[in-house]
A and B are shown apart, each in its own frame.
Chain A
Amino acid sequence: MAINIKKLANEPELLASGHRACVGCTGATIIRQVLRAAGPDTVISFATGWMEVVTTIYPYTAWRVPYIHNAFENAAATISGVETAYRALLKKGKIDKKINFIAFGGDGGTYDIGLQSLSGALERGHNFLYICYDNEAYMNTGIQRSGATPRGAATSTTPAGKVIPGKPQNRKDLTAVIAGHHIPYVAQASPHNFIDLMKKVQKALSIDGPAFMNVLMPCPRGWRFPEPEGIDMARHAVESCFWPLYEIENGTYKINYIPKKKEPLENWLKRQGRFKHLFIPKNRYIIDELQAEVDKNWEELKKKAGVE
């Protein structure tokens, strides 16, 4: 699927400026990339979360496409209702346009509280794309740990304490959990590689049936790094193979980017205040274990994709 960037760049902006996202927020960037790829005939369902809050403070809305926010854990169930209404009204000849259905949730709304709702909607086979914008913690409520938070990261509920050095548990591999649903399309993407991300959105929307994308969303506030570095932080996560770009199309794995030389994870961790405490000598073993985890996952992924 080819992307005509020049053409897409001239399409109207579907997320209006003036919303209240933080300086350096990569979430708004991701939404704009998704909407540019999807186009105006798209209905959005959004889980409660920071991007929901900053884009729709009544009486204003940043959304130039139809949008519904229902609650925290039910963006998938909600879009499944909208999509079913579409099929019902299509059948009755009350609608004739092709419409895309996209649900957005953060990692809290997807990995944790919304997992059941998402799993059900995927299993039922609704024709929609679910996008998780994964910033690895509950940023809306003040940086609490989620199932997506990496081990060792300091959050408000897993602080770098004198006894416990940040989050004790490994993150959940949600993309693999979703792949277990055997839906037509599953992918991981990153906003630094926007062509790859937009291609994936278009592919996901062109497929009949449910699709899922997990998109890494570096958060300057939550991860503790300078605001201008968000996109580069995403690139760095991909270069270190912490966040591989890959897709699973009808069960077939494909890695979309293989770094020439895998960047040591430590270099990525070092740039983020949330991992600062891991660099004191008694905690360094956590970095080693995180690196080992990344290496293991990367090798497993390569095997699944048939890459030597």
Chain B
Amino acid sequence: MAKNLLALTGNDAGAYAVKQVQPDVAAVFPITPQTELMHKVAEYVADGVIDTELITVESEHSAMSATVGAAAGGARTFTATAANGFALMWEIVYIASSLRLPIVMALVNRALSAPINIHGDHSDSMGGRDTGWIQFYSEGAQEVYDNLIQAYRIAEHKDVLLPVMATFDGFIISHTTEIVDTLTDDTVRKFVGEYKPAYSLLDIDHPITVGPLDLYDWYFEHKRSQIEATKHARKVILDVADEFYKLTGRKYGYFDEYRIDDAEAVIVVLGSAAGTTKCVVDKMRKEGKKVGVLKLRVFRPFPAEEIANALKDVPVVGVLDRMVSFGGWGGPVFNELRSAMYNMEKRPEVVNYHYGLGGRDINTEQIEETFNTLLEIAETGEVKERFGYIGLRE
């Protein structure tokens, strides 16, 4: 099959996926570093390339509110945001998943204020980890494209009906150009298929009430049904990935294991830093050091058993978190992962590093140093520091 290779930034790749999916409605509000994605979508609309109706709202709160309205009206929808914009729409982010609306959102990861900062970290999306959305993290522009396309199939699956956010690191991915292997418009449209919602406000002859008051007599059961839907998503994510693999040859799962089979130390990381870590793994492997990386793609639902199983023979695991859970016992990825390993027969040592806040660079030397610390733990069995920082001035 002839490849259609394009040079795209992460934002361009996101917009290209939107162009090919051609949602009925997109609601947008500018925020760095997401804005270019929406510029592109607006250009596609203005040039008549797609017939998506664009709502240029006056805030992110209204972006999510209008998207909820459009999705409840039976439309296939899209929105995008970052950082403070995500924080502003948070109330409705929770409502979107609770109303079981299959909205797809690109979230371009950026640090939360204050102090105000426009660069990438995961404090925005990780802060929303309990909002009931499915979360994908992308290593590069190719994954932005692939994750957004798959997101529609997962969100709209009748056993799921949950919103999906595909996140990618601000600037590091959103503003750097990569070669992206794209599908044809027809292939993408065939893959996502026609959206046929079971219920719609616009089915005027069959009136429904969306968002009623739900007190102690039913609220809990409705939350339970959301829990079940999230469980169903586990299978659907893999099924869709499988179908996508047959189409593209690109394999996706909950996570990506890279040279971890006989590894003595493994770094678990998500987003753009995974690629850098893989480079370091290759270099250290050449030097005979047994290191590997596990890149987490799906954080919600958290693939607890699968990840525990993948790391069961690894003596030391270093978890890299790009957000702080203030006052918590480590970052969110560390917490989930370590908890997932509690019942294992042979528990690895798990240590936690915070890195990259506010877009602070993480480089190969720092990752190598981190691996060496992990290897030292593997050798001595002694953890000098359970929680550390990478690239921070003392």
Residues on A facing B (Cβ under 8 Å): 40-41, 43, 45, 52-53, 56-61, 63-71, 73-74, 77-89, 91-92, 95, 97, 99, 116-117, 119-121, 123-124
Contact mask for chain B residues 189-219; partner A; CB cutoff 8 A; 1 contact, 0 none = 0000000000001111001111111110110
Interface contacts beyond A57-B213, A67-B208, A84-B53: sample of 9 additional A-B pairs, CB < 8 Å, sorted by A: A74-B65, A74-B92, A78-B65, A80-B57, A81-B55, A81-B65, A85-B70, A85-B202, A117-B65
- A66-B204, A116-B59, A123-B58 given as contacts; is B66 within 8 A of A56 (CB)? no
B68 near A116: Cβ-Cβ < 8 Å: no
Q: Which residue of A lies closest to B52 (CB)?
A: A88
A81 near B69: Cβ-Cβ < 8 Å: yes
Taking CB atoms, residues of chain B closer than 8 Å to A83 are 69
Taking CB atoms, residues of chain B closer than 8 Å to A84 are 25, 27, 53, 55, 66, 69-70, 75
A66 near B202: Cβ-Cβ < 8 Å: yes
Give complex CA distance A124, B69 in Å.
16
- A71-B91, A123-B58 given as contacts; is B25 within 8 A of A43 (CB)? no
Give complex CA distance A123, B59 in Å.
13
Give 29 A-B contacts (CB < 8 Å), ordered by A residue. A45-B69, A57-B215, A59-B218, A66-B201, A66-B209, A67-B209, A67-B210, A68-B201, A68-B209, A68-B210, A70-B68, A77-B66, A77-B69, A81-B69, A81-B71, A81-B73, A82-B69, A82-B202, A83-B69, A84-B25, A84-B66, A84-B70, A84-B75, A85-B70, A85-B75, A117-B59, A120-B58, A121-B62, A124-B55
- A67-B210, A69-B210 given as contacts; is B69 within 8 A of A91 (CB)? no
Taking CB atoms, residues of chain B closer than 8 Å to A65 are 204, 207
Q: Which of B194-246 contact A (CB under 8 A)?
A: 201-204, 207-215, 217-218
Contact of B95 among A71, A88, A120 (CB under 8 A): A71
Total A-B pairs in contact (CB under 8 Å)?
A: 162
Give complex CA distance A121, B63 in Å.
11
A61 near B73: Cβ-Cβ < 8 Å: no
- A82-B201, A117-B65 given as contacts; is B55 within 8 A of A66 (CB)? no
Give complex CA distance A87, B25 in Å.
9
Contact mask for chain B residues 40-80; partner A; CB cutoff 8 A; 1 contact, 0 none = 00000000000111011111011001111111111100000
Nearest Cβ distance between residue B299 and chain A, in whole angstroms? Answer: 26
- A82-B72, A85-B25 given as contacts; is B61 within 8 A of A77 (CB)? yes
Taking CB atoms, residues of chain A closer than 8 Å to B67 are 81
Give complex CA distance A99, B203 in Å.
10
Q: Determine if B256 is an interface residue (Cβ-Cβ < 8 Å).
A: no
Q: Determine if B178 is an interface residue (Cβ-Cβ < 8 Å).
A: no
| Size range of the chain B interface in the assembly | 35 or more
A43 near B92: Cβ-Cβ < 8 Å: no
A78 near B68: Cβ-Cβ < 8 Å: yes
Q: Which residue of B lies closest to A40 (CB)?
A: B204
- A70-B92, A74-B65, A89-B74 given as contacts; is B209 within 8 A of A56 (CB)? yes
Taking CB atoms, residues of chain A closer than 8 Å to B73 are 43, 81-82, 85-86, 89
A58 near B214: Cβ-Cβ < 8 Å: yes
Give complex CA distance A73, B66 in Å.
12
- A58-B215, A66-B207, A84-B53 given as contacts; is B70 within 8 A of A71 (CB)? no
Nearest Cβ distance between residue B86 and chain A, in whole angstroms? Answer: 16
Nearest Cβ distance between residue B65 and chain A, in whole angstroms? Answer: 4
Nearest Cβ distance between residue B38 and chain A, in whole angstroms? Answer: 16
Give complex CA distance A116, B59 in Å.
9
B25 near A81: Cβ-Cβ < 8 Å: yes
B212 near A61: Cβ-Cβ < 8 Å: yes
Nearest Cβ distance between residue A54 and chain B, in whole angstroms? Answer: 9
Taking CB atoms, residues of chain B closer than 8 Å to A91 are 51, 53
Q: Determine if B368 is an interface residue (Cβ-Cβ < 8 Å).
A: no
Contact of B69 among A52, A53, A80, A89 (CB under 8 A): A80
Nearest Cβ distance between residue A35 and chain B, in whole angstroms? Answer: 12
Q: Which residue of A lies closest to B210 (CB)?
A: A68
**Residue of B67, B72, B211, B214 with highest tally of chain A CB at under 10 A:** B211
In the A-B complex, list the 7 residue pairs whose CB atoms are closest, starting with the nearest.
A81-B69, A120-B58, A85-B73, A81-B66, A56-B212, A85-B75, A77-B65
Taking CB atoms, residues of chain A closer than 8 Å to B95 are 70-71
- A78-B68, A81-B55 given as contacts; is B213 within 8 A of A58 (CB)? yes
Give complex CA distance A87, B55 in Å.
12
**Residue of A41, A65, A77, A95 with highest tally of chain B CB at under 10 A:** A77
Q: Which of B84-109 contact A (CB under 8 A)?
A: 91-92, 95
Q: Determine if B313 is an interface residue (Cβ-Cβ < 8 Å).
A: no
Nearest Cβ distance between residue A41 and chain B, in whole angstroms? Answer: 5
Give complex CA distance A134, B86 in Å.
32
B204 near A97: Cβ-Cβ < 8 Å: yes
B207 near A67: Cβ-Cβ < 8 Å: yes
Taking CB atoms, residues of chain A closer than 8 Å to B202 are 43, 66, 82, 85-86, 89, 95, 99
Taking CB atoms, residues of chain A closer than 8 Å to B58 are 116-117, 119-120, 123
B209 near A78: Cβ-Cβ < 8 Å: no
